[in-house]
Chains A and B, each alone.
Chain A
Amino acid sequence: MGHKLIKPVMSAEEAVQNVKPGSSLMVGGFNYAGVPYTLIDALVAQGTADLHLISNDTLYANDQHPEGVGHGQLVVKRQCRKVTASHIGLNRETQRLFNEGLMELELVPQGTFVERIRCGGFGLGGVLTPTGVGTIHEEGKQVIESEGKRYILELPLKADVAFIRGYKADRWGNLTYFGTGRNFNPAMATAADLVIAEVDTILKEGEIDANDIVTPGMLVDILVLKGDGYYASRT
């Protein structure tokens, strides 16, 4: 069996060196669940800036967590040039930076967000969705009528790097997910040039039943074992 099928296991610090200034970065997770916390913490420590963060939300930044939680920290630390998300209401810094013109923000309906990522990863030129028709969301977009119904043409989203969070991995990079941690992770695993997966356990190839695998290892480039940070150890 070819060695190339075996995926490197790296420390988070080593893995995040692949994120360069100006990179577009997808980060999995919805609220607390399914977030690659250890990778994010390492990227915050590395300080790489000018990022285009593509994530459903920007987690929390509030009085209780002024430094931000998870990838919310990337916003608080001013490492993002742009954020593409569906909901940013729990991170006061994302709202403030956008309102003050200090950061670009693209808000996308959540179902459209995941479909755009799927288009990016599945070789589709876009998707026609009725979501947002008749609202300001359709402004500047192509509206297409088909079979008597109006749809917005939504274009693919891709990224240079994706940080995803899985549960079990094997050395081929095959992944399972746990709880509500699945969310955007399987879609993002298809849509980035480099996919780094943070997981709870790394097993030998063949130790995960093929029936349970959600993301095939061919999509995953680097494996990182989750650390013992507050949120990583609780999710």
Chain B
Amino acid sequence: MLPVLDEEVIRHRIAKRIALDFEDGAVVNLGIGIPTLVSDHLPEDVHVLLQTENGVVGAGPKPEKDDLRFIGAGGRCVSLLPGSSLVASDMSFGLIRGGHLDATVLGALEVDSEGNLANWMIPGKMVPGMGGAMDLVTGARAVYVATTHCDKKGRPKLVKKCTLPLTGAKVVSAVVTEFALFRKIDGKMVLCEIAPEVTEEEVKANTTMDYTVSPDLCTMKGIE
């Protein structure tokens, strides 16, 4: 059994670990949920340009007073930082598909051994649509998945092979959960960091995705 952590601890731990991967000046698109929190954890000397697919390049935090004329991709109001620009959807997705984004951070229903990602529908149940996710995973230079290690019923979300419809094939660069960080290296998933509360065996027992363990395996960065 994996230890039970507070939900807020989980969300912020995952967001903080991903934030540590970003370099100053990176252009990043953040999905809704845990990915949105990444912007709260960027180191002070790291300025990241946040792109929202509905047309802001250089989005800032939620303003004190909502203005529905400035909406972020998740439907939350955004502010504009000095130097930001507003673009139409064709330009926005040109930026995304054209390889102009350093990274995108998204949630997951399933991630598998080949780095396939499923996060947009459960047939017959949930059909929210893919929105911009398929374009983002296709075009961004790095695709970070921010997800809890298991689903609400305790089943692994990092699986041998995705059973749900894919958002993108072999697109995942890294997966960060509350217990582990995996990177895709030469097409294979590699366990690179592990949280202090768990052992390698416990991670293994709760992950059906095929992976190897990095010779440089270390404690997950960002955890005090």
Contacts and interface: CB of A to CB of B under 8 A. Distances in A.
8 contacts: A30-B71, A89-B126, A95-B128, A99-B124, A109-B130, A135-B166, A135-B168, A137-B130
Interface residues of A, number: 49
B151 interface: no
Contacts of B89: 30, 56, 110-111, 113-114, 182-184, 187
Listed from nearest, the 4 A-B pairs whose CB atoms lie closest are A89-B128, A134-B169, A111-B93, A111-B135
A72 interface: no
Contacts of A136: 165-166
Interface in B40-83: 52-56, 67-73, 75, 78
Contacts of A137: 130, 134
Interface in B62-110: 67-73, 75, 78, 86-90, 93, 96-97
B131 A32 contact: no
Contacts of B161: none
Nearest to B70: A179
Contacts of A15: none
- Interface SS majority for chain B: loop
Contact of B131 (A87, A130, A187): A87
A33 B96 contact: no
Contacts of A135: 134, 165-169
Contact of A110 (B72, B87, B124, B132): B132
B129 interface: yes
B138 interface: yes
A131 B171 CA distance: 11
A179 B69 contact: yes
Given A109-B134, A180-B71, A114 B90 contact: yes
A227 B89 CA distance: 26
Contact of B71 (A32, A85, A105, A109): A32
Interface of A: 30-33, 56-57, 85-90, 95, 98-99, 105, 107, 109-115, 118, 129-137, 177-187, 214, 231, 234-235
Contacts of B86: 179-180, 182
A113 B90 CA distance: 9
Contacts of B90: 114-115, 118, 186-187
Contact of A132 (B54, B88, B93, B134): B134
Given A86-B129, A135-B165, A32 B75 contact: yes
Given A88-B129, A107-B129, A231 B55 contact: no
